[in-house]
Each structure stands twice: as C-alpha cells, then as structure tokens.
Structure 1
Amino acid sequence: MTIKIILAVIIGGVVGFFVPDSFYAATDVLLTIGLCLLLFFVGIDIGKNKNVMRDIKRSGRLFFLIPLGVAVGSLLGAIGVGFLLGYPINESGAIGSGMGWYTLSSIIIAPYSSELSVLAFLTNVVREVFAIALIPIIAKHIGFIEAIAPSGATAMDTTLPIISRNTNGETAILSFSTGLILSTMVPILVPLFLFK
C-alpha cells in the first residue's frame, strides 16, 4: 500500500507538468471529494469496532499524552534542525508547529515571509511522505502507538487509512483523536511563534 501511495504521488507530479493551468481549478474540488470518500470508508472501518467508546475510555491518559508527545517532539525536532541550519527559534518553531498540515501552516506563515511559507509547505509535505513510508515499518517493528507519531495532524485524515490497516481499531481511534487535537493546535501555535 505504501509503495502504491508513493507511486501515485510521483505519477501525479509527472502528470502535473502536462496538465493545462485551467484544470487546476477543478483539482481542489476533486481533492475534497477524494478526501471525504477516504474518511467515509475509514469511518466505516472504525465503526465496525462496536467497542469504540470502551476503547477510548481504556486508552485513558494516552488520549492526551500521545498528541502532547507528538507536538513536543515536532517542535523540539524543528527547532533543533533550524538551529543547525541557522534559522531563528521562532521561524523553525513555526514550521514545526505545522504538525504536517502543510496547507494551513504555509498560509498562516505567508504574510510573515513567502520564503518561510514555501519551506513550511515543503517540510510538512515531506513529513507526510515519510509518514506514509514509515508507518508500516514502525507498526511492525516498534509498536502500534509509535506508528501514530510520524503523521502529526494528518493522523486523522490522509495517513489514517495506513495506520488503520497496519495497526488495530483502538490505535486507529487514538490516531484520529491525536490528529484532531494536533489540528486544533496548528492555528494557535504557528502565529504564537511568528507574531510575538
């Protein structure tokens, strides 16, 4: 599945060179429809688990600790790499605050700096591609809970099917809630880092 997804991205990139500019207006609608269908079928998969509420209650503190750990790790990693590359803490922190949500974080950062906006977009896209490639490996060799971390905010949408397929129902529910919590943090944290 991971290879198919990466191949689809590569083929899409190649096809994008030959598609007329007039087609790009329709891609937004097609992406929204595709994402809605994807989430609908993931919802069906989660719904098959009749013990959803029991699994949420059983997860206990993990319900909040997983998104907190992913957020702290994302920020520390971004700030550490930013320091090595010579970026100020506020700029590298803003990029890390995107948590993989490349569209929103780059839009929030754009008024501050177009260069930083492009960097945030690319960084978070690469994070998602790495997540797609690494989730099956992490789930198999390290653990189900740890497989949620690479996704960041996308753990509730684009990478959720991969997590669901490679883990179990309880982990899929934790993944969805982690992505939801991280997604709500993005519009708060990104401006906090940039606009002191």
Structure 2
Amino acid sequence: MSLSIIIALLLGIFSGYYFIPENIISNSEILITIALNILILSVGIDVGSNKSLIENLKKKGLKLLCIPLCIVAGSVVGGLITGLFFKVSPNISLAIASGFGWYSLSGIILTSLCNVEVGTIAFLTNIFRELIAVITIPFLARYLNYYTTIAPAGATSMDTTLPLISESTNSETAFISFVNGLILSSLVPVLVPFFYSIYK
C-alpha cells in the first residue's frame, strides 16, 4: 500500500513537472476538494457499516478512549516540539501532527488550507509514520505489551496496519485497535484545520 502511494506521488511530481498543462494545474483545487469530500465520506461509511460496533463499545466502556486520547496528546506534543526544533510555526506543526498517519487526507487538507509544500510535508510525515509502525509493531508486541502496538499506527490502526496488529497481538487488542483508528480518523478532518487556524 505505502509503496504504491509513493510511486503515485513520484509519478504525480514527474507528470506535473513535464506533462500536465498549466491551466489544469491551476484548477487542481477542484480535484482536491472532490477527493477530500470522498475521503471524509468513506469514514462515515466505515462507521455506518459496522452495526455491532456500538454494542461492543458499551461492553468495553470509557476505557477504550484512553488509548486514542493518549495518542492524540503524544502526537500533538511531539509535533509542537519538532516544530520548535525545525523553526516551523506552531499552527503548521500541530496541523501536520494531527494527521495521525492518515497521509492522503491530511496532505489534501493542508494543501487546500496552506500550500502544496506544507501538504507534501504532511503527506510524507504521515507516510513515514505508517512505515515506522509497520517496522515497530512486532517488536513492541514482543518486548513491551500489546496495547503499545496501537500507538505508532495512529489512524491506520483500523485499516492498513490492523492485520499486522491482529497477527502480532490478540483479538481484543485488534478490536481496540479498530476503535482507536475509527476515533482518530474521525478527528483528523476536525483537528487539522482547527490547529492550522487557531494559532495563526
């Protein structure tokens, strides 16, 4: 999945530089808006299609919220510290950190809100987060505990990294992982524009 995304990005850069006419590039905001709406719609479809999710949430209680809340706090603090280190304004660093690994959506939102450069940084930052998650999940499950495998995955813990988490842990952790990804995916389209605008 990540390899195909990277290849698509490189092909896009190559095409934009050599082949795509300027008048199409200048109107790319329309395509970005359409893609953004489709991605947000897909989150809603995931929520609505999972009919047993609410019952399972009731059984687990509010304890399920601890993991995503800690991931949000850790990502935001890490983004702020990294932004200070690289002299990036707080609103941009916090917005990038709030992608939680959802590279396509966060990249599109920040391209629309700010510019292509910031959108690309958000895109690559969150791709690297997923790649790091894929590498570290088996080690975290083996040497720390099962719940720690969810943190690096972020929003991808409900889809692309869920099979790896399930394989490395157990069914209970896999369910918590799915809920975590669902919550974080729902927060991305809210927190990215919020942080971008609040500190401007």
TM-score (norm 2): 0.71
Q: Is 1:167 aligned to residue 161 of structure 2? A: no
The alignment of Structure 1 onto Structure 2 pairs a total of residues equal to 160
1:40-59 mapped onto 2 (5 Å cutoff): 56-57=57-58, 59=60
1:1-196 mapped onto 2 (5 Å cutoff): 9=3, 13=7, 56-57=57-58, 59-111=60-112, 112-196=114-198
Q: What CA distance in whole angstroms lies between the structure 1 residues aligned with 2:192 and 2:82?
A: 17
1:63 partner letter: L
What percent of counterpart residues are identical? 42
Q: Which digits, 9 at most, give the CA deviation of each residue in 1:136-160, with x for residues without a partner?
A: 0001110001110000000000000
Residue 53 of structure 1 and its aligned partner are, at CA, apart by: 5.5
Q: What CA distance in whole angstroms lies between the structure 1 residues aligned with 2:160 and 2:69?
A: 20
Q: What CA distance in whole angstroms lies between the structure 1 residues aligned with 2:119 and 2:78?
A: 18
1:163 partner letter: I
CA RMSD of aligned residues (A): 2.9
**Secondary structure in structure 2 of the residue aligned to 1:119:** helix
TM-score (norm 1): 0.73
Q: What CA distance in whole angstroms lies between the structure 2 residues aligned with 1:59 and 1:183?
A: 20
1:149 partner letter: A
Residue 113 of structure 1 and its aligned partner are, at CA, apart by: 1.8
1:78 partner letter: G
Q: What CA distance in whole angstroms lies between the structure 2 residues aligned with 1:183 and 1:9?
A: 21
> Which stretches in structure 2 are left out of the alignment for 5+ residues?
16-45
2:149 partner letter: A
Q: What CA distance in whole angstroms lies between the structure 2 residues aligned with 1:135 and 1:115?
A: 30
2:3 partner letter: V
1:187 partner letter: P
> Which stretches in structure 1 are left out of the alignment for 5+ residues?
22-38
**Secondary structure in structure 2 of the residue aligned to 1:110:** helix
Report which structure shows greater RCO (CA 8 Å, sep ≥6).
Answer: 1
**Secondary structure in structure 2 of the residue aligned to 1:195:** helix
After the TM superposition, which parts of structure 1 deviate over 6 Å for at least 4 consecutive aligned residues?
none
